[in-house]
Amino acid sequence: MAPQLKVNGTVGPKKAKAPVAAGKYYPADDVKTPLVNRKAKRNNAAKVRASITPGTVLILLAGRFRGKRVVALKVLESGLVLVSGPYKVNGVPLRRVSPAYVIATSTKVDVSSVDVASINDAYFARVKSSEEEEFFAGDAPKPAIVSDQRKADQKKVDAALLKAVDATPMLKAYLAARFTLSGNDKPHNMVF
């Protein structure tokens, strides 16, 4: 039988000692820790500004089409905004842009007739080429090939969008004009 101790006036079994702490030395064996898988973790998309809604005319601030005015069609799951020029007006195709690189204007277009339900982030995924490429191939860069599916979708969206643009006077010329600043302009005082 275990020896009895008197603690606080009561009799009970002897208390066991606490386990020994790890100490200040490294463990003798290498302990494998699992690597962090960044792909498995899904980041939540950032909340888009309240001024960016479907039908809002946006000014692109960066990228190939900077300075162009485009129409916002919808906000995608990734937090990016789906926009179109329309292509016939200013040459901007269906593309995704980050809301951080746009200025929302007060001009609105009715895009209720434009069907973009089938366009999502996977629509813009790049297709990996099956042939193996050398790092230093020495050939001329391959031109970008636009698929027939994208051309058909662009025509379908542009047809509906151009009807809405033509319904508003001078909107077509506004979308075709580039946004620029001159030396005397004060952007912090401008109202878009």
In eight-state DSSP terms, residue 124 is G
Distances from the Cα of 113 to the Cαs of 54, 104, 108, 109, 157, in angstroms?
11, 21, 14, 11, 9
Position 190 scores a pLDDT of: 86
Position 8 scores a pLDDT of: 59
Give me the mean pLDDT over the 54-66 stretch: 94
Residues spanned by the domain of 93: 46-126+169-177
Judging by beta carbons within 10 Å of its beta carbon (0-12, 13-18, 19+), is residue 81 exposed, middle or buried?
buried
Amino acid at 17: K
Helix, strand or coil for residue 108?
strand
Has residue 24 been placed in a domain? Answer: no
Peptide bond connecting 86 to the previous residue in cis, omega within 30 degrees of 0: yes
Has residue 97 been placed in a domain? Answer: yes
Helix, strand or coil for residue 73?
strand
pLDDT at residue 61 tops 90: yes
Has residue 11 been placed in a domain? Answer: no
Has residue 155 been placed in a domain? Answer: no
- Number of compact structural domains in the chain: 1
What is the CATH number for 103? Answer: 2.30.30.30
Q: pLDDT tens-digit profile of 77-126?
A: 889 999 998 999 999 999 999 999 999 999 999 999 999 999 998 888 87
Distances from the Cα of 162 to the Cαs of 17, 58, 94, 159, 176, in angstroms?
81, 16, 14, 5, 12
Q: pLDDT tens-digit profile of 122-159?
A: 888 877 765 666 666 666 777 778 788 888 999 999 99
CA gap 123, 110 in Å, rounded: 24
Write phi, then psi, for 21 (nearest 5 degrees): -70, 160
Has residue 141 been placed in a domain? Answer: no
Residue scoring higher pLDDT (17 or 55): 55
Has residue 59 been placed in a domain? Answer: yes
- What's the pLDDT band for 12 if we cut at 50, 70, 90? low
Has residue 146 been placed in a domain? Answer: no
Amino acid at 124: F
**Within 10 Å of residue 58's Cβ, how many Cβ atoms?**
23
Q: 4 is written with which tokens?
A: 């009895």
Position 1 scores a pLDDT of: 55
